[in-house]
Amino acid sequence: MNERHHHHQHGEDSQGATDASGHDKHAGHSVSMFRDKFWLSLALTIPTVIWEPMIQDWFGYTAPPFPGSAFIPAFFGTVVFTYGGRVFLNSAIGELKAQLPGMMTLISLAISVAFVYSFAVLLGFDGHPLWWELATLVTIMLLGHWIEMRSISQAQGALNELAKLLPDLAVRVIEGDRTEEVPVSGLRTDDVVLVRPGASIPADGVVISGKSAVNESMITGESQLVDKTEGSEVLGGTVNGQGSLRVRVLQTGQETALAGIMRLVSQAQSSRSRAQALADRAAFLLTVVAIVAGVATLAAWLLLGAEIDFTVTRVVTVLVIACPHALGLAVPLVTAISTTLGARNGLLIRDRRGLEEARNLDTVVFDKTGTLTLGSHRVVEIVAAKENDPDTVLSLAAAVERDSEHPIAQALLKSAEDKGLALPRSTSFESAAGKGVEAVVEARRLSVGGPALLRQRNVELDNYIANATRRFGDNGQAAIYLVEGENVLAVFAIADQVRPESKAAVAKLQSMAIEVVILTGDSEAVARSVGRELGIDTVFAGVLPDQKSDKIKELQARGKRVAMVGDGVNDAPALVTADVGVAVGAGTDVAVEAGDVVLVRSDPRDIARIVILSRATYRKMIQNLWWAAGYNIVAIPLAAGVLYWAGIVLAPAVGAVLMSASTVIVAINAQLLRRLDMAR
């Protein structure tokens, strides 16, 4: 059950994403293909270099002669060109058909010029052949591509890792205690599956019996184990702890949260950003510059009367140096890694442009309910009559309300549960519509209710309780009383409770020079109360759902860069209007269509993480674009031979090393993004 191979449908999904990652220069290429071609080309290049007369002169040795040994460089150089170089030639044909000449066109042009010229010399043309330069050039290019492809496949490993989360097999309960092993792909809605300790949960579902704690970090980013009992929802791909669970399947295959996350990751990795468009434009311009520089080099050296083999070597080196290879890698690699990093931290990026825009934000607008608050009522303050203890009165009130379904009752019960209070037994429960409830607890006849209960009993409030009641009213909180006979034992303020993480989230954003705004349909008193608690000055209250997008436009008209954070249901128009739309509280429903970024957790602290990720991603892209294009500013003139007078000349193989080094630096620099600490 706990085997973690991905089954067929996920394998296909992840492969599709790999091909669509924005690095389509390598569509159809694989890591192993470049690896194999590199090693074989290297083996063929070694004799090409050893039997090369020029190398023998340089190093003062004589390679063992035998009949035909003079043709070794030409023979092996031709094999390396046709075997190792074919991948570049085929890709160049594809680029030219698409009328988008790029790096493959340049590489192909360089090796073809070297091959045709060397072959002409072999047939009797006067000059010096470039067989060893050609062989080393192809071999080094293959090495650069192998390293690059490995980086890309590692970056996109997120999809493959997600695919592996689902087990191959599930244990289906047939009846009673009888079970059978079935492929996960064969599960249907309403099947009951047995999830043993330590096993992966095979599909989304609800626990019908058993008790356990589940590790959901791979989907929600939540590091704590989540307790599961009867009625709890579980997600496919998460790992069960020590207990055994029976789960009724609710969603399978493409309907599961995991499949939804995979779709979003795939979509984000292949969605094009402005930086990607810039990189592609730069790569195209660099190709044009290289060809012009190559032609100019050829003309200049011929006019200066240089030897033809020297001139051709210079042209080949210019074409190699200028390959916009690192440019092609600079952005897609950062894109893939940042998407993966986001997914691991519970940030699902639907649209790359949203993530790119996040670094410029100066205003974050929160829809209050369910975002800054829990979206369910709790006791937010207890004022007990002087001789009573707050925890004691809360446990008494919750005991009175134990059998009631009313939202106020649920608020009291949940608050007592949050505090871990044991509830005394209650009997003789009675409910009086609109006036509250009554029960006998520990031989005391107690009532719980609002102002109507006080009026019915003609209870007079002392100043202490009356002042608290007034304060609660000013904050838009409901006042609920615990009454014994004619004595008020305590008053509870009941409201939609602010999330424990909200204060830190707001403080973090403000420390990043981002203004925080509350936007809510609630009353001014309720909104102001939450604003005061969290240190938020700007509050828009009483805003209807269809007016929310107008408020966003108002802020944008003042020149603000606005992120809207909402639950993605009634906030959809506002999420679309904002510069960055963040759908929060999506939980398992990752099909939120409105947000640029979907938060798996309902944790407002994740908003700051989006900005941190956006800024770090942008920094890496700019660094990579400079690494990729910047070295050409120095290298192309050197390759053309402008410092020949000072004795500085680059051989084609050195050009290939420099070009490959630039690619490798870009790949390593992108990988460093993985070390980003998003909790800072």
CB atoms within 10 A of CB 62: 7
Nearest to 574 by CA among 532, 533, 604, 544: 544
- What dihedral do alpha carbons 302, 304, 310, 315 form, nearest 10°? -60
Query: 233 to each of 246, 256, 376, 594, how far by Cα in Å?
Result: 11, 12, 18, 24
Q: Give the strand order in the sheet containing 212-215.
A: 226-228, 212-215, 239-240
Helix (H, G, I), strand (E, B) or coil at 439: strand
Q: Check if the beta carbon of residue 201 is closer than 8 Å to that of residue 240.
A: yes
Question: Please, is 148 exposed, middle or buried when counting C-beta atoms within 10 Å of its C-beta (0-12, 13-18, 19+)?
Answer: buried
Q: How far apart are the first and last CA of the chain?
A: 38
Interatomic CA distance for residues 85 and 77, integer angstroms: 10
Q: Does the active-site annotation cover 57?
A: no
Q: Check if the beta carbon of residue 153 is closer than 8 Å to that of residue 172.
A: no
Please report where in the chains the tokens 């959809």 appear, as a residue. 572
DSSP state of 372: I
Interatomic CA distance for residues 475 and 492, integer angstroms: 13
Interatomic CA distance for residues 613 and 604, integer angstroms: 15
CB atoms within 10 A of CB 173: 17
Interatomic CA distance for residues 195 and 240, integer angstroms: 7
Beta bridge partners of 484: 446, 487
Interatomic CA distance for residues 208 and 246, integer angstroms: 6
Catalytic residue selected from 280, 367, 579, 596? 367
CB atoms within 10 A of CB 274: 13
Helix (H, G, I), strand (E, B) or coil at 27: coil
Interatomic CA distance for residues 277 and 670, integer angstroms: 18
Nearest to 289 by CA among 248, 250, 326, 319: 319
- What dihedral do alpha carbons 254, 257, 260, 265 form, nearest 10°? -130
Long-range contacts of 60-68 (CB under 8 A, 24+ apart): none
DSSP state of 320: H
Interatomic CA distance for residues 571 and 549, integer angstroms: 8
What DSSP assignment string belongs to 102-154?
A: -HHHHHHHHHHHHHHHHHHHHTT-SS---HHHHHHHHHHHHHHHHHHHHHHHH
Beta bridge partners of 444: 441
Q: Check if the beta carbon of residue 482 is closer than 8 Å to that of residue 396.
A: yes
Amino acid identity, position 456? Q
Contacts of 10 (CB under 8 A, 6+ apart): 162, 163, 164, 166, 259, 262
Helix (H, G, I), strand (E, B) or coil at 171: strand
Element (H, E) at 227: strand 226-228
Please report where in the chains the tokens 């409910």 appear, as a residue. 431
Question: Please, is 340 exposed, middle or buried when counting C-beta atoms within 10 Å of its C-beta (0-12, 13-18, 19+)?
Answer: buried
**Active-site residue list:** 367
